[in-house]
Amino acid sequence: MSELRGSFGASAYGGPGWSGRTRPLSAEIGEIWADCGVGDEWSTLRAVLLHRPGPELVSANDPDAVQMLAPIDLGKAQAEHDAIAQAYRDQGVEVHLVAPDAVAPDGVAQDGAPPNQMFVADLMFMTPEGAVLARPASTVRAGEERRVARRLADLGIPILRSLRGTATFEGADAAWLDSRTVLIGRGLRSNAEGIAQVGALLEEMGVAVIVVDLPFGTMHLMGTLRFADRDLAVGFPRRVPFAAVEALRARGFEVVFLPDEAEAEHGSALNFVTLAPRKILMVEGNPATRTFLEAHGVESLCVPAAELRKAAGAVGCLTGILWRGEG
């Protein structure tokens, strides 16, 4: 039986065999950690996180009780969600699911997902070094972030911050204006304390935060403003905060406004995801918006979402962005 030698001089105590970890976290992305990271809203989309709706939607027969607009047909909703996931795959985007094995063959949900779990964009916000875990503002959605946290960990994506105290923050309230600036909307879903906590993390990265107040009656910043390219932003008329437009124009953006407010309000025309510069995935059935965007050089791929829209969200809300940039 071998005897233990003295600890002084052993590598475990800093001896000659010690190998210190000196590289920053950012240098470990793609090696120790999975390929991930976001520092803008328009670079080539590489990976997303989705939650395929399951039996949790069947119980949503009282829309107001679960913050939806109308009862939902599960089969139709699943078919639309599957089409969205396939559209991403067809564009070379890697699709991950929050709960890939959550539904057994008998259709019984295994993890008890809440009705709004599919709106993954609300539940996280990606930075170049990893994710900020959201803390949803309503009791109906409390706990959804736990499932996203579990999946991010499984995928090897760093979770840089979760919120404490009475802070609330939802990822759809934040957007990258450039690699050193994030716009965050204060309103129903993200409060001052939540923005301060997220801002403190971003400040450590050398990223400034511009806070804008959202109009009363709006849900998220995402519902007022989207980005099609590094110099093209698309807004919802009379809903985009004035300070946001100022900040965009100061950084060289052209800010255009949807021409058909009916399509914006009832067709989720603004609820798109940018696949690459001037190429987006949007909800079908918005011809005026599509023609308008094409006039600005934007290619639009369309997917159905009429049933999913009854839950008060569409393509953008459903999509957690994990990675943008070069593969």
DSSP line for 62-110:
SGGGGT-SS---HHHHHHHHHHHHHHHHHTT-EEEESSTT-B-TT--BS
pLDDT at residue 109, rounded to an integer: 44
d(CA 46, CA 279): 14
Q: Considering the entire predicted model, what is its pTM?
A: 0.93
- What's the whole-number average pLDDT of the chain? 93
More confident of the two residues 273 and 69: 273
Q: Provide the phi-psi class of 278: left if phi over 0, else alpha when psi is between -120 and 50, else beta.
A: left
Written as one letter, the residue type at 187 is G
More confident of the two residues 36 and 63: 36
- What fold does the segment set 39-324 form as a domain? L-arginine/glycine Amidinotransferase; Chain A (3.75.10)
| Mean of pLDDT values over 238-257 | 97
Please write the tens of the pLDDT for every residue from 83-100. 999 999 999 999 999 987
| Mean of pLDDT values over 208-214 | 97
CA distances from 183 to 56, 74, 114, 242 (A): 33, 35, 29, 12
SS3 (DSSP) at 174: strand
Residue 49 has pLDDT above 50, yes or no: yes
pLDDT at residue 103, rounded to an integer: 47
| Cα 42 from chain centroid (whole Å) | 13
Residue 259 has pLDDT above 80, yes or no: yes
pLDDT at residue 99, rounded to an integer: 86
Residue 106 has pLDDT above 50, yes or no: no
Residue 181 has pLDDT above 60, yes or no: yes
Share of the chain above pLDDT 90, in %: 86
Please write the tens of the pLDDT for every residue from 155-179. 999 999 999 999 999 999 999 999 9
More confident of the two residues 3 and 252: 252
Q: Which two tokens stand for residue 267?
A: 């067709």
Residue bearing tokens 């900020």: 132
Q: Going edge to edge, which strands form the sheet with 208-213? A: 174-178, 181-186, 208-213
Segment among 59-73, 226-240, 280-294, 305-319 with least mean pLDDT: 59-73
